């Protein structure tokens, strides 16, 4: 029998693990404390990709080399610091420290949760979360769903089910019928993942018909009807309409009741991309923004955006739970013993992944420990703070907003200088990032460039936002 190598024995030594773990938690705790105190480390280091690459050696020795704490210090010092209150950029949340610890547990035990035998605890946790989330959406007792890796795969999963249910033939088994080309209707503010899903599904980007929006960045019934007729005149069979709740660029919620009426009148599948904004369901103050969601056929909800959960953990929810089995209609005898609908606990029937990480644990545990009020408070605070930021901008003669914010996303720009507006916003953003005090992004709306903030850090304050406006003025000068 081969003897266990000493290197493996040392790598799995419990005492060494305890020592490294205790030191790591202390290091992360110190990092969190300094971040909340707005310490001098920049939110995002001012390094190009090539400069960053040179910081990391590609020479991996056969023998032990660098010390673990040294590597972690470099990681923390050179990463985008989402714990810093000046992080108000993309829709990637500041994770709850407790949720990060549960993620460590899930990573450590590594129970892949696509089949029950490999992830029994997380399978049960995800089932309970799905039941809770579908009830919040108003879907009823027959609803069901699954967790998957991100909104892009989530939208693809939902649209595959939509195609299987609404297409005039069995696309999964027979493939694309070129004589019956399919199409879907989406807002021209939709996330790029919807177009990507259409490409993956063989529909093609030409089969994605963009519906123009009004001044509030919402689809209208008339624009939907016009676009539907245009698709039909092109020989396309429309099978789905997709609503935003909310849109990525401006944070605007579509009129879901109007979309549900339109879908019903044309016998279409109604899918809601609620990757960012579905979390408002947990807030009594803001859940009205999702009125009509209960009539949707499917919903995508990213908990790693507005539920303070580390990426990735996306729920794909179906009002008719039987439809959750339509996305991937195939069998694998080495994994499954029964028909898919008799095996709700084997999620690989319904997900892209066969090896699926423990996503549920990092939301389930904080919900059980803190209760739902913590999450409702987070939605109320960040949505409310964004509205207050919009009021600050409205009271300033040298700024303007693209639209009144409905969520925690706001688009605005500086107008207090005689200069080409688009070029000025780009230069301002560059200087803001170089300052290291804030991380903001930019977006294009109606052909123009705007500064864009997602106020997603629970420790960001009104003073931080006022400081951003002052910094922008300074950068513009």
Mean pLDDT of the region 441-461: 97
Residue 11 lies in a domain: no
Kindly report the length of the chain: 477
Instruction: Give the number of C-alpha atoms closer than 13 A to the C-alpha of residue 198, restricted to the C-beta side.
Output: 24
Q: How far apart are CA 358 and CA 105, in angstroms?
A: 9
In CATH, what number is assigned to the domain containing residue 398?
A: 3.90.1150.170
**Position 465 pLDDT exceeds 70:** yes
In sequence order, which residues have a C-beta less than 8 Å from that of residue 200 and are 6 or more positions away?
A: 156
Q: How far apart are CA 389 and CA 463, in angstroms?
A: 10
For 188-208, the pLDDT digits (tens) are 999 999 999 999 999 999 999
State the pLDDT at residue 333.
39
Q: Please report which helix (H) or strand (E) contains residue 231, including its range.
A: helix 221-233
State the pLDDT at residue 461.
98
What percent of the chain has a predicted confidence (pLDDT) above 90? 90
**Position 178 pLDDT exceeds 60:** yes
395 and 383 in contact (C-beta within 8 Å)?
no
> Average pLDDT of the chain?
95
Q: How far apart are CA 164 and CA 177, in angstroms?
A: 13
In this structure, how many other beta carbons lie within 10 angstroms of the beta carbon of residue 143? Answer: 22
Q: Confidence class of residue 41 from pLDDT cuts 50, 70 and 90?
A: confident
**Position 145 pLDDT exceeds 90:** yes
Residues 363 and 279 in one domain: yes
209 and 184 in contact (C-beta within 8 Å)?
yes
Closest CA to 392 of 337, 473, 449, 323: 473
State the pLDDT at residue 39.
85
Please report the beta strands in 75-152, taking only residues with DSSP state E, as ranges in sequence order.
144-148
State the pLDDT at residue 336.
43
Question: 302, 335, 370: which is the final residue of a domain?
Answer: 370
Residues 86 and 126 in one domain: no
**Position 366 pLDDT exceeds 90:** yes
Mean pLDDT of the region 411-430: 95
In this structure, how many other beta carbons lie within 10 angstroms of the beta carbon of residue 312? Answer: 19
Residue 5 lies in a domain: no
Q: Confidence class of residue 421 from pLDDT cuts 50, 70 and 90?
A: very high
Residues 381 and 317 in one domain: no
Q: How far apart are CA 91 and CA 280, in angstroms?
A: 15
Of residues 292 and 355, more confidence is placed in 292
**Position 127 pLDDT exceeds 80:** yes
Q: Which residue has the tokens 């500086």?
A: 414
- Domain holding 349, by residue range, is 112-370
For 1-26, the pLDDT digits (tens) are 889 999 999 999 999 999 999 999 99
> CA angle, 143 as apex, 99 and 154 as ends, to 5°?
55
**Position 335 pLDDT exceeds 50:** no
Q: How far apart are CA 166 and CA 184, in angstroms?
A: 11
Closest CA to 271 of 206, 191, 215: 191
**Position 170 pLDDT exceeds 90:** no
Tokens of 235: 């020989």
In CATH, what number is assigned to the domain containing residue 120?
A: 3.40.640.10
Residues 292 and 432 in one domain: no
State the pLDDT at residue 190.
95
Closest CA to 223 of 172, 273, 188: 188
Tally of domains in the chain: 2
Residues 301 and 212 in one domain: yes
Mean pLDDT of the region 434-441: 97
Q: How far apart are CA 188 and CA 210, in angstroms?
A: 5
Residue 58 lies in a domain: yes
For 208-236, the pLDDT digits (tens) are 999 999 999 999 999 999 999 999 999 99
Q: Confidence class of residue 331 from pLDDT cuts 50, 70 and 90?
A: very low
State the pLDDT at residue 193.
95
Partnered with residue 443 across adjacent β-strands are 450
Residue 6 lies in a domain: no
For 91-100, the pLDDT digits (tens) are 999 999 999 9
453 and 469 in contact (C-beta within 8 Å)?
no
Q: If DSSP codes are grouped into helix, strand and coil, which group holds residue 365? A: helix
Tokens of 109: 């035990």
Q: Which residue has the tokens 């499917």?
A: 298
Residues 265 and 185 in one domain: yes
Question: 370, 399, 430: which is the final residue of a domain?
Answer: 370
Closest CA to 278 of 137, 132, 154, 158: 137
Residues 328 and 465 in one domain: no
**Position 332 pLDDT exceeds 70:** no
State the pLDDT at residue 340.
61
Q: Confidence class of residue 328 from pLDDT cuts 50, 70 and 90?
A: confident
Residues 140 and 30 in one domain: no
Please report the beta strands in 44-187, taking only residues with DSSP state E, as ranges in sequence order.
144-148, 182-187
Q: If DSSP codes are grouped into helix, strand and coil, which group holds residue 294? A: helix
State the pLDDT at residue 419.
87
Q: Which residue has the tokens 């950029």?
A: 89
Residue 105 lies in a domain: no
Q: Taking the chain, what is the end-to-end CA distance rounded to the nearest angstrom?
A: 74
Residues 237 and 341 in one domain: yes
Is the bond into 200 cis (omega within 30 degrees of 0)? no
Residue 2 lies in a domain: no
Is the bond into 312 cis (omega within 30 degrees of 0)? yes
Residues 382 and 459 in one domain: yes
Residues 353 and 398 in one domain: no
What does the CA dihedral 94, 98, 102, 103 come to, rounded to 10 degrees? 20
State the pLDDT at residue 173.
85
In sequence order, which residues have a C-beta less than 8 Å from that of residue 108 and are 6 or more positions away?
A: none
pTM of this structure: 0.95
Residues 432 and 359 in one domain: no
Tokens of 327: 């996305």
Question: 353, 370, 387: which is the final residue of a domain?
Answer: 370
In this structure, how many other beta carbons lie within 10 angstroms of the beta carbon of residue 49? Answer: 6
Q: How far apart are CA 387 and CA 384, in angstroms?
A: 5
Residue 77 lies in a domain: yes
Residue 463 lies in a domain: yes
Of residues 336 and 33, more confidence is placed in 33
State the pLDDT at residue 430.
97
DSSP state of 155: H
């Amino acid at each position: 029998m081969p003897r266990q190598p000493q290197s493996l024995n040392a790598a799995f030594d419990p005492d060494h693990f305890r020592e490294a773990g205790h030191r790591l938690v202390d290091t992360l705790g110190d990092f969190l404390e300094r971040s909340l105190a707005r310490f001098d480390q920049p939110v995002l280091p001012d390094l190009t990709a090539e400069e960053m690459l040179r910081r990391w050696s590609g020479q991996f020795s056969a023998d032990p080399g660098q010390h673990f704490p040294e590597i972690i210090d470099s990681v923390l010092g050179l990463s985008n610091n989402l714990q810093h209150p000046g992080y108000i950029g993309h829709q990637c949340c500041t994770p709850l420290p407790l949720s990060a610890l549960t993620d460590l547990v899930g990573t450590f035990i590594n129970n892949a949760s696509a089949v029950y035998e490999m992830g029994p605890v997380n399978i049960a946790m995800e089932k309970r979360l799905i039941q809770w989330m579908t009830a919040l959406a108003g879907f009823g007792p027959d609803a069901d769903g699954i967790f998957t890796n991100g909104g892009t795969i989530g939208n693809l999963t939902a649209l595959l089910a939509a195609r299987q249910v609404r297409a005039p033939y069995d696309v999964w088994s027979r493939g694309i019928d070129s004589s019956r080309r399919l199409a879907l209707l989406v807002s021209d503010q939709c996330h790029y993942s919807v177009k990507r899903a259409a490409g993956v599904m063989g529909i093609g980007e030409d089969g994605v018909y963009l519906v123009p929006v009004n001044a509030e960045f919402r689809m209208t019934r008339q624009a939907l009807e016009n676009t539907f007729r245009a698709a039909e005149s092109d020989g396309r069979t429309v099978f789905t309409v997709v609503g935003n709740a909310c849109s990525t660029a401006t944070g605007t919620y579509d009129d879901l009741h109007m979309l549900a009426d339109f879908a019903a009148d044309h016998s279409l599948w109604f899918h809601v991309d609620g990757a960012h904004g579905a979390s408002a369901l947990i807030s009594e103050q803001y859940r009205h923004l999702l009125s009509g969601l209960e009539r949707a056929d499917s919903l995508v909800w990213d908990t790693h955006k507005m539920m303070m959960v580390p990426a990735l953990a996306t729920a794909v929810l179906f009002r008719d739970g039987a439809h959750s089995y339509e996305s991937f209609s195939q069998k694998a005898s080495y994994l499954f013993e029964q028909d898919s609908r008799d095996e709700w606990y084997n999620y690989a029937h319904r997900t892209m992944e066969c090896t699926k990480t423990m996503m549920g644990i990092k939301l389930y545990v904080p919900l059980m420990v803190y209760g739902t009020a913590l999450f409702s408070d987070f939605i109320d605070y960040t949505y409310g703070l964004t509205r207050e930021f919009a009021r600050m901008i409205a009271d300033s003669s040298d700024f303007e907003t693209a639209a009144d914010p409905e969520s925690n996303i706001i688009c605005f720009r500086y107008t207090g200088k005689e200069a080409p507006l688009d070029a000025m916003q780009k230069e301002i953003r560059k200087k803001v990032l170089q300052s290291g005090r804030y991380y903001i992004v930019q977006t294009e709306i109606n052909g123009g460039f705007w500064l864009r903030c997602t106020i997603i850090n629970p420790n960001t304050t009104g003073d931080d936002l006022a400081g951003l406006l002052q910094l922008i003025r300074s950068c513009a000068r």
